[in-house]
Structures are given as structure tokens and as C-alpha cells.
Structure 1
Amino acid sequence: MDINATSASSSAVELFGSFHLGETELALPVAALQEVVNYPSAVTPVPLAPTHLLGLFNLRGTLIPIVDLRQLLHLPDDTARAASKIAIVELGDVRVGLQFDTTGEILRVPAAQKTTFERTDHAPPIICGALKLDGGERILQILSAAALLGLPDVPQLHHRAAATERRVQQAQRRQTVSFRVAGAHLALPMAAIQEIIRVPAMHPSPLADEVCIGMLNLRGTTVPVIDFARFMGLARDDATASGHAAASDERRIVVLNQYDVHVGLMVDEVRSIVGYRDDELMVMPAYSRRHVALFAGCLGNEGRDSIILLSPDALCTHPQIAAVAQGHRDLYRDRTQTEASNRRGGTRETYVTFRLGHLLGVRIGQLREVIDYSDEIVATPGAPAFVRGVLHLRRELLTVIDVRAMYGMPPYEDPTHAKILIVEHRGEKYGLVVDAVDNIVTIESGSRIPVPAMLTRQLGNGWGNGMTEAVELPGRGTLMLIDLATLCERVAVESVA
């Protein structure tokens, strides 16, 4: 490829910002620079991204993709990211963050000291020219913002159009289940999840491939299990991989059921249930036409790494997953149809199971979301002993209830690992502190067993008022089903007593 160099003869002065990448000094036109920020503490890895896309971060409500210029310019990586800077480059309605080692200065450069490079094929080069300063002793290479943002694998975020689109969206509240996969924080809509189970002893699959690691029989339905980290192109670090044996109890299988496609996704850890409104969903940058449909958007996460929301429709219609699901359905069609006919007529309900000394379950419709315990709870003077205080959650105040204290159970030594169930009752919002959230299960109506009245009367401190049914979970013991409306009613009564 031939490159021609020409020198400008105009007397105009142009402003440039200078940056350093190792021993290389680069420049960007100030007109393309929006701002420069420190490398963010919370960066969200993006599945299926090219290696030069380091992740996303939330800059005042806008997702900014971070591009590693070293890889694009084939420079050695010899600096710590935490100490680097991010130059936010904006061109039209497209915005991206470029990683540099250090910032330099703002330069006023006469046109005579600028040399422009032009390619013979008329395509804009990434290095579009050079600045010759200090009598030619100092050379800075000029980066072309248009060429950088026009590369096929550089993510593009059309933030202004996205902002307008978000403003006209209805503020409809939705629920998702968030989980960890090889360091990435992902989520799926609650409506697409049939249930979430602990990792059982799986059967080897005759259709196993690089992502299908086995299959399981879920009440007569053959469900292929996908190694979701491998499917999403996420590499586990050595510590995570070696820790799987010790921490295998944290892994879960998220069972999707979309358009009669059943598939299980192996994830490292289920985190919480997250509620959001449509206008809180940030638009994901597009970095690959092949993969952009998998991502429905991104949710801010209170100063921590953001949560990438996946599209269940795109997942279940992805050629690789669809082929695995269709193959298992065809292979085991007779068994599935027989079990389905045996189950016909029974209704099923979805429950979230959690621990509070015992294994308890609550209908998923009674929960708004589940969050980690927060140290930002503000104690309220004069409140009952079981009220820990109030918590500000996305422009709403909710009352945080210590359920252990309410029922006379031993207190927490350290509540930092507890979870808070967010519920709403008679217009009031409550956060119920529980030990841990366990799973999401579906339960047939016929399997629920009434708890004898004698037993409920023996349950001290009012527990029996909200627990009238139980169900046996294979290999897990008895699950007591609790009505949160009864618990919240007791909170309301005792708070004004």
C-alpha cells in the first residue's frame, strides 16, 4: 500500500491533545475530544467481544466502550491499566473511550508543522498525519477519529439517538435474574427462565460438542446443558478454574424455556433478582453484527460493574444453541411426549427459595427484586427493634426489616453476605433481610402439602401464620412455603403498636 505525504501551507492554527503509549507520542484533534477520565474502577467485560474491546463503563448514565489502542497499533502492553487514562472521543453521535498511558498537553500547531498522510485507496488511515515540533526533534503521530470509529470491530454507541429513544419509552417495571459467568455480570428476563437448579449429576450426551457438556432429565424433559462461559467466549482465569471443585455449590443451571426450546445454561453463580424500568436500560454499543442481537441492553448497578441484559429470543434462536436443542428434542421426542401427557392438567408455579435458618420459598410474583445487603441503610430513631432502618434504592425509600430479629432468631454476626428481598404491600415497600437466596424452582400445585394446624401453632413467634404449605424437594428436604403478605402485615401492625 502506497502512502503519499503532503505538507499543508495554510497559516491556520489547529488544537491537538497529546497522549503517550509507551515510547510513542500520539495526538488527537481537540474538536474530537469530549473529555479525559481516569481508568474506571468498575469495567464490565463484554461477551464475544474482540480482544481490543476491554469492556464498558458507565459515564453519567451513558455506556462507554473502552478500546485498547495498543492492540490496534500493534504496540507492546507494558503498563498497568489502573494507572492509565481514557480519552472520550466523540464524532457525530458516536462515542468511544481510547486507553492511553498518560496525557500530555494541549498544543497549538500551525498548519506548516502538520503533515497529512493520504492512502492511494482513499480509505482513511488510523495514523492520518504527523506533527513536527521543536524543529523536527519531536514527532507526534496524529490519530484519525473517523478512521478509528469506522473500523469494523470498534464498538459504536449512538448515544443521542439512544437517549431520545429512552425518553419516549414507557416506565414499565420488569424483573431479571443476574448471574456471574467468568467475571462477566449478565442477566436474563425472569419470564424466560423456567427454573434455576443446583448442578446435578449430568448424563453424557450423544450430541455433545464444544459447548454442550451433557444433559439432564428435568421431570421427563431432556434438557441439554451449555457451558455458557465457553459459548459467550469468556475465559476463566486460573484461580476461577481451579476453584470450581471447591466452589461447585455456587454453580447453577439456568433453564430457559422459549418457544418450546429447553436449554440449560451453566453459570458460575446466581447473584440476585434485579428490577428495572425500560427507561433505565442503557443501549449496548454495537461492535459486531453477528453478536449485537444477543444483548438487550445494560443496567447500571449502583457504582459497581454494570449488568449486561441478554435477549432470550436471540439466545434460543442462535444457530449453535438451536441446533443442540433441536437435536435433543428429536432424539428423545417419545420420552418427552409421554411425560408431557402424564403431567397435563396440573398447574405449576414458580418460587424463589431462600434460607433463614430453614429452607423457605415464596411465590416469585410477591418479589420485586433481590439485592445484596447494603451498608447504606440509615437507622431510624424510635423504630421497632426488628427495623434496621431505611434504604434509598433508585429514587425510592424502603423500610429494611431484620426478619431474624422479628421472629426471635439468633442475630447475624456479620450481615454483609445476607440478601434483601424487596416486596411491596399496601403501597409500602419493604426490604426483608434473609441469610441467602438459594434457587428458583417450579412446583406443581398437586405436590404442595398442607402444614398441620398443630405444627403451625407450635411454631413460635408467629411463624405459623404465614406458613401453611410445604413441598418435598428431591435431595433437598422439605421446603416451607411462606406468604410474604402475612409477614408484611405483621410488620405494619407492630410498627404502629
Structure 2
Amino acid sequence: MIDERAPDRSADGDSADFVTFDMAGERYAFPMSRVQEIIRMPGVVKVPLGPPSLEGLANLRGRVLPVVSLRRCCDLTQTAHDETTRVVVVDGGVPLGFVVDRVASVISVDPEAVEPAESVQATVSSEVLVGVIKGDDGAMTSILDVDELIGAQFAGTATTRAGLDPVAAAGPGGAEPADEDGDDTLELVSFAVEGQEYALPIDQVQEIVQAPESVSHVPNAASRVLGVMDLRGRLLPVVSMRRVFGLPVADLEPQNRIVVVSLDGGVVGVVMDTVREVLRVPHELVAPLPSVVAAGGRATEVESVCRLDGGKRLVSVLSVNRMFDSPEVRQELRERQDGEPAPEQTEEQGMADDGRGDEELFVVFRLDEEEYAVDVDAVQEIIRVPETLIHVPKTYAFVEGLVNLRGTVLPVVDLRTRLGVPKAARDERQRIIVLILGGVRTGFIVDSVAEVARVSRGALEPAPELSAEQAKVVSRVANLHQQQRMLLLVQVDQLLGAEDTAALGDVVADQALTAV
């Protein structure tokens, strides 16, 4: 019977090859046949709910590489990484990287020099020990079993999505359908210009990206056109909202955002001071602009006004068509679109791809130092965190508090707590992303909302199944190789269990009765 754990022999059968490396002053080895490559310690994206040994996910030439601390796997004391730290990439069905202190060499060993694990004592767990290489100088090298190491760390991931379309299996965020009154609400993206709040209908917004340090100036361009910028290999005309409003234009700042909107003949990026929230406003709170106001100057760019917070907050809803109603401006924008007018699209094509084509749209947010994303269709709205949340005594530990959202009780959960990330102090950048879980509208506090990003489906892939819970909550990753970014895509319907979601419904019902 062949011992599957025995070291692989070289082609001539007289020796076995190993990659040797050091950890905590001891020498270890992997069979050479299991080692794909050796790399320096890369930057990693930390994954919530993963096993303790997981350092994070790295981008290995366009592939997602889970990176694991071998010290933790072997119950050794952790140490800081330095210039000698290396990652040994092994074949574990999918590539997996083990972090080691330093790589020593590749050696060929006579089979007689390998002592089986059963006959030796070692400081590491015997389950991960294949044997020991006895050196001529009395030194010993422990041979580790790759499969046992992987199995010991990721034992909870037997369930696999193999055979399923990763995009279809994960779904577009797994959210429940929108409210029955969804047709009676207006979905908006609000932003600020010179301290005033405006909004655009969300169906006119393709994505929101951070402003670059500068845009390329176009000679003899219309006054509203700042220039062009590169957006994933495509030239995007950039217009200043300040110039549209006749306000002084300042240099681009990190807080500026570019809202990419659809326009006849192509798309255009509009520079905003800041982007504030995603709003879902009942139509009864939206009124057309009074005709006496609409008759003068730039006010014609406003088509309606939302009355929020009992009329204390007014948000002017803009019309993209009115913003660029000049034939000269429209023609120039078309000419700047990749240097030539955009190709015409048939009505059937427009209906087939819903404006997204081979792409998906995500709301990107940050927790700690990592970027997460949820499908834009799962997001009801995004609001600021109020100064105080309504505390509910003797409630469930995962409920951070309650918010009165236009007369509706909204339970709020700290997403850091849910994903096992240490809690952070409240600050101005935090936002509440409102989702629907099991029919219950629920808010999740995040560190900040970064952008609305359009991601090619080719960049989406299943997340490595590092633990059972992680595989449910973080089901996919968007591997944006050219941008050197990796977005962790959150499965909305897995954020809370069925019992927790039902408990949220009870909290909301109890508060509604109390209010009555």
C-alpha cells in the first residue's frame, strides 16, 4: 500500500526534493512537488470571520491568494514580518500561501535520510508531520504535510459551490425584494456644492468615483468642461458642477467625488464637492419647483424639491438633461468621449443590459482598513449616523440602537461587531447603510461609504472558503487587478441569522406599540 503522505521521489527514484525554510529558529520543509512558487510578503486584504491563522487575501498576478501564517498553524509565537519574510505558495487544490520567517534552500535527499514521523518526537503536532530529514552534521529538518495543514485550518469548508455559476450562486446581494411601495418612492443620490444639498435620480447615475489629483485640460473646451480623465481605459469628459452653477472653481481635493451620469450620446463625469447619501423619498414629499422660481437663470436645472425632516431640510433634485441643455456643450461632450461620438445603441440593446452591460454596480464602504461592497439594488438608502441612537434596554446584543427614519423605527447594527472587527469611536465619516433583511428594514453602521463602483463580471470570483461563516457572509471578491484593489462582496441575507432577523422584527414591533 502506498503511503500518500510520503515525500515524492524525483524521476530517477533515488532522491526526493524539498523546499526548506526556517521558523522560530527551527528548520522545516515542504515537498518540492507541492510548491508552486516563493514570493515576498505581499499586501493583504483582511477577511472577517476567517480562521485565526489567516493573514488575508493577496492578489497574485490577477488571482486571489489566501495567505496563512504557518507559525499560527504550528502553534508557534507570532513575530513581525521583515525583509526575510517569504510566502511559500503551495498547491492545495487552489493556491494557498504559507508565511515563513525565511526560505533556506532547495535540497535533494536520500530516502534513507528521512525518518518517519512515528519514530521521532517533535514540537509540532504529529498530525502535520510527515517525517524528519537527518543531516550529516546532526541537524534535523521537519517535513510538514501540506494537506493536513490545510485541513486543520479550514476544516469547516467542506461545502463548496463547485459546479455553480459563482455570480448566479451568490446572487446580487441576496436582498429581499424592495418594499411593496417601492414604486411610490424616488431614489436619489444627494451631494453638496458650496454647502447646498442637491440630488440626482439614482437611475441617471452610473457610478461614483473618487476625483483624481488632476484632469487633462482640453484646449478651447466649453466653460463647463474641466477636461478628460481615464476611467478604466476609457476617456471620460469631466464637468465642474461649480461651473454649471456659476460658482468659483477650486483645485480637486480628496473629498471631491465624480458622479458619472448618463447623457444622450455617452456619459459624463460631474465633479461634486462631496457626495452625502443615497435617499429613498416618498413621492408625497417631492414637489415640482414653483414656476415663478423656475423662470429665472440657473434654477431651471432644478426640476423638483424634496422636503425632509418635516420641511427643515430641502434637497433640490436636478435634471441631467437641463444641466447640459446647450447643443454646443452636448456636441463637445460627445466629441470628447473616446475622441469621437459615441456609437448609437438600439432600443433592444438598451433594454437588454439595463444600462449595465457586462457589469455589476456596487456600493463600496470601508471597515477598518478594508473595502467591502454590497449590490446597489440591495441598498435602500444611506444616511448619516445621528448624534444619539435610541437605546433599547434588555434587547439583543447585536442591536446598537434605534433610529426614527421619517416616522419608521429602524434597528441599527454595528457591522464591525457583526464581522468580528474591533469597534471604533463614532466620527463624522460613519454612515448607516439601510438594507432589508427578512422583510425588516435594518441599518448597518460602516466606517465610511467610498463610492458607487461599476465592476466587470469578469473581475468577480468566488471568495476562498476559509471558514463556514465567512463563506456565507463574504461570498465573492471583486479582484480589481489593474487598480491593485480587492473588494470583499457581502452577502446581504447572511449578515444576520434567521433567528436574529426575527428578533429584529420583534424589537421594531415592540417599539411601534410603545410609540402608540
Identify the TM-score tier after normalising by the shorter chain.
Answer: 0.5 to 0.7
Question: Of residues 483, 487, 493 in structure 2, which corresponds to 1:313?
Answer: 493
Deviation (angstroms), 1:84: 1.5
Superposed CA offset, 1:280-321 (max 9, x none) = 1122111222331112201124444411000112225x2464
**Considering only aligned residues, what root-mean-square deviation do their CA atoms show, in Å?**
3.6
Give the distance between the partners of 1:178 and 1:186, measured in 2 at CA: 6
Superposed CA offset, 1:229-259 (max 9, x none) = 11100125xxxx4xx35xx110111111244
Per the alignment, residue 271 of structure 2 pairs with none
The 1:172–1:125 alpha-carbon spacing in structure 2 relative to 1, beyond 3 Å, is same
Question: Of residues 261, 272, 276 in structure 1, which corresponds to 2:451?
Answer: 272
- SS, match of residue 125 in structure 1: helix
Q: Conserved in 1, the CA contact under 8 Å of 2:15 and 2:108?
A: yes
Question: Of residues 466, 473, 479 in structure 2, which corresponds to 1:300?
Answer: 479
- SS, match of residue 428 in structure 2: helix
Matches within 5 A, 1:31-70: 31-41=33-43, 43-70=44-71
Larger deviation: 208-217 or 29-38?
Answer: 208-217
2:362 partner amino acid: T
Q: Conserved in 2, the CA contact under 8 Å of 1:196 and 1:252?
A: yes
Question: Of residues 121, 131, 135 in structure 2, which corresponds to 1:129?
Answer: 131
Larger deviation: 219-228 or 23-32?
Answer: 219-228
Question: Of residues 491, 503, 506 in structure 2, which corresponds to 1:327?
Answer: 506
Per the alignment, residue 476 of structure 1 pairs with none
Per the alignment, residue 203 of structure 1 pairs with 390
Superposed CA offset, 1:360-388 (max 9, x none) = xxxxxxxxxxxxxxxxxxxxxxxxxxxxx
Tell me: higher relative CO, structure 1 or 2? Use CA pairs within 8 A at least 6 residues apart. Answer: 2
2:381 partner amino acid: E
Q: Conserved in 1, the CA contact under 8 Å of 2:132 and 2:141?
A: yes
Give the distance between the partners of 1:89 and 1:155, measured in 2 at CA: 20
Give the TM-score normalised by the residue count of structure 2: 0.55
Give the TM-score normalised by the residue count of structure 1: 0.57
Q: Does 1:219 align with 2:412?
A: no
Larger deviation: 217-226 or 326-335?
Answer: 326-335
Per the alignment, residue 174 of structure 1 pairs with 360
2:117 partner amino acid: F
Per the alignment, residue 99 of structure 1 pairs with 99
1:90 partner amino acid: D
1:312 partner amino acid: V
- SS, match of residue 148 in structure 1: helix
Gaps of 5+ in 1: 1-5, 339-497
Gaps of 5+ in 2: 1-5, 120-124, 171-352
Give the distance between the partners of 1:221 and 1:160, measured in 2 at CA: 38
Give the distance between the partners of 1:82 and 1:320, measured in 2 at CA: 48
Query: Across the two proteins, how many residue pairs are aligned to each other?
Result: 318
The 1:83–1:223 alpha-carbon spacing in structure 2 relative to 1, beyond 3 Å, is farther
- SS, match of residue 230 in structure 1: helix
Deviation (angstroms), 1:94: 2.8
Deviation (angstroms), 1:157: 11
- SS, match of residue 329 in structure 1: helix
Matches within 5 A, 1:160-171: none
Q: Does 1:87 align with 2:267?
A: no
- SS, match of residue 495 in structure 2: helix
Give the distance between the partners of 2:400 and 2:169, measured in 1 at CA: 43
Deviation (angstroms), 1:81: 5.5
Q: Conserved in 2, the CA contact under 8 Å of 1:148 and 1:154?
A: no
The 1:167–1:115 alpha-carbon spacing in structure 2 relative to 1, beyond 3 Å, is farther
Deviation (angstroms), 1:225: 0.8
Q: Conserved in 1, the CA contact under 8 Å of 2:399 and 2:412?
A: yes
Kindly indicate which of the two structures has a greater share of residues assigned to strand.
1
The 1:48–1:77 alpha-carbon spacing in structure 2 relative to 1, beyond 3 Å, is same
Q: Conserved in 1, the CA contact under 8 Å of 2:374 and 2:492?
A: yes
Give the distance between the partners of 1:322 and 1:163, measured in 2 at CA: 27
Q: Conserved in 2, the CA contact under 8 Å of 1:53 and 1:154?
A: no
Matches within 5 A, 1:113-152: 113-118=113-118, 125-135=127-137, 137-152=138-153
Give the distance between the partners of 1:81 and 1:310, measured in 2 at CA: 32
Q: Conserved in 2, the CA contact under 8 Å of 1:62 and 1:282?
A: no
Per the alignment, residue 253 of structure 1 pairs with 432
Q: Among the aligned pairs, what percent are the same residue?
A: 25
Deviation (angstroms), 1:134: 2.0
